[in-house]
Chain A
């Protein structure tokens, strides 16, 4: 019993509710939301440390015992993700202050962000499958608000598609929960795992696990369910895309990981093999998109899809090294995608276009931005001193240990193409002579640099401080590899 672990859910909830009352007073909104997000970072740090020292923390809501009530569970995996979420939330707010226009700020932009964070943290922390559905809906409803807020024609058009896809996947989620309840008679994740271990994973349960894969694959943009993502993520302002790209797909990945390591781990030759090949195809289609486009936002968006594939391959390979690598890579990817979308947003703000063919020679006027983009590009591709390296190394090592040679090579090759796609932005955008038509567009990136600097410092520190971080990451991987730790913590047998 520990009330501390509900704070990442409770703080954004109350902050969001209070912010609704001050929708015309932008100064109060900014201060309150930044204080709330700083409190979020502070308490998630404490949670990470508590879980590290005392093991998995659980909170039975309303004092009802575990399988009967709703239980909030913070193991190392979810608390690390909650910490990363609150860091992304804080930097996004800083970025929003200098980029979001006043009309949006007056129409509930900041409450929308707070409720989005509430949904994401709740989805990471819950221990109940229907509660996960509810937190998904909280997150999605706020994302509907954020994607359409400002109602330009493009936003209206793309949000129709985004909402339709998510309505369908939510209905599928409800249907899947109904089937699962009919077979097992419980909704608590730990209890589900126990009952499925007792009755054995029959064909029916494998079908249900694949339905979960479809539902979470739609949220997390897994091949062949990623078709909605490139259009939808291009429509809203850069800060919203950064929030979505860093958080929303990662909740889908988290759910797939949780479901396939905690509940449906009994038939890996079928489910995990399928997951591995879907991950490989996701990587391939992601890099094809990333090298095909000449639009800065599109390139970064397709890099999200590639990263989804790499993380899920780590989960599918299911060796200790691969799972540890996928935890490393998931946290790294949330940070670096936030940084890349901020950088893309800063470039678009300076030049007024996202078309790479119209931009060149930015290095002359914005050298600091240029070198930061260079660092972000190297970190994304996984060059050793930066954060992407260890995760990919462990995933590939684990992939070889599991005998998945083909897909491990695909992961290695994908790094090359990912590097090419972001270097394309760097070489075409920052090198060369400044174009004459850019001379009159002297936008400035003032105020946008601070959040980028924070995230890039974290990236470098994450890469250099691997020794210091590894006990935390291996603790997260340990729980994922051995479901009994989770079950004993929740059911207290």
Chain B
């Protein structure tokens, strides 16, 4: 199971890198979304995918799954959620102000102002 999940995470990373190297800003943001999905899936996989009850003491089970990676993922999800929404609004504002979403035209520095 871990091998399968690692391959899936690898595919997500590949797609993310491909999208982030493209020209359009929106594709880049979709790429960052896939990258964080891959990272979160990887935490879950690396924590181990052994069979066990959900980490609720009311389950009274013999063994539980590891609760720590789930807490880490929950933290990482809300952080990437906040950053992504900021990034989306930034992309929207810069589309309004600069009139383009083409990264080639966003090159340069103060000499091009």
Contact = CB atoms under 8 A, between A and B. Distances in A.
Interface of A: 130, 133-134, 137, 140-141, 144, 148, 151, 153-154, 156-161, 163-164, 167-168, 170-171, 174-175, 177-179, 181-182, 187, 231, 234, 295
Interface in B46-66: 46-48
Contact of A141 (B38, B43, B86, B97): B86
9 contacts: A141-B83, A141-B86, A154-B109, A157-B98, A160-B91, A174-B40, A174-B76, A175-B39, A234-B110
Interface string B12-28: 00000000100001001
B20 A171 contact: no
Given A174-B39, A178-B39, A160 B94 contact: yes
A118 to B, nearest CB: 15
Contacts of B97: 151, 153, 156
A76 B100 CA distance: 50
Given A175-B42, A178-B42, A234 B79 contact: no
Contacts of B86: 141, 144, 163
B98 A153 contact: yes
B109 A234 contact: yes
Given A156-B97, A160-B106, A177 B72 contact: yes
Interface in B82-113: 82-83, 86-87, 90-91, 93-94, 97-98, 106, 109-110, 113
- Chain B contact-residue range equals 35 or more
Contacts of B93: 151, 156
A130 B48 CA distance: 18
Given A144-B83, A157-B98, A175-B39, 9 more contacts: A144-B86, A153-B98, A163-B90, A168-B32, A174-B39, A174-B43, A175-B42, A178-B42, A182-B48
Contacts of B70: none
A316 B76 CA distance: 31
B36 to A, nearest CB: 6
Q: Is chain B's interface secondary structure helix, strand, loop, or mixed overall? A: helix
A168 B35 contact: yes
B45 to A, nearest CB: 8
Q: Is chain A's interface secondary structure helix, strand, loop, or mixed overall? A: helix
A141 B83 CA distance: 7
A157 B94 contact: yes
Contacts of B43: 174, 177-178, 181
A334 B91 CA distance: 33
A192 to B, nearest CB: 14
A141 B79 CA distance: 9
B82 A182 contact: no
A141 B80 CA distance: 10
Contact of B109 (A163, A177, A231): A231
Contact of A130 (B40, B45, B72, B98): B72
B39 A179 contact: no
A163 B39 contact: no
A171 B39 contact: yes
A137 to B, nearest CB: 5
A159 B90 CA distance: 8
Contacts of A158: 109
Nearest to A137: B79
Contacts of A170: 79-80, 83
Contacts of B91: 160
A160 B94 CA distance: 9
B20 A164 contact: yes
A167 B32 CA distance: 7
B51 to A, nearest CB: 18
B98 A148 contact: no
A171 B42 CA distance: 11
A235 B24 CA distance: 22
A449 B55 CA distance: 59
A161 B103 CA distance: 10
A164 B16 CA distance: 12
Contacts of A134: 75, 79
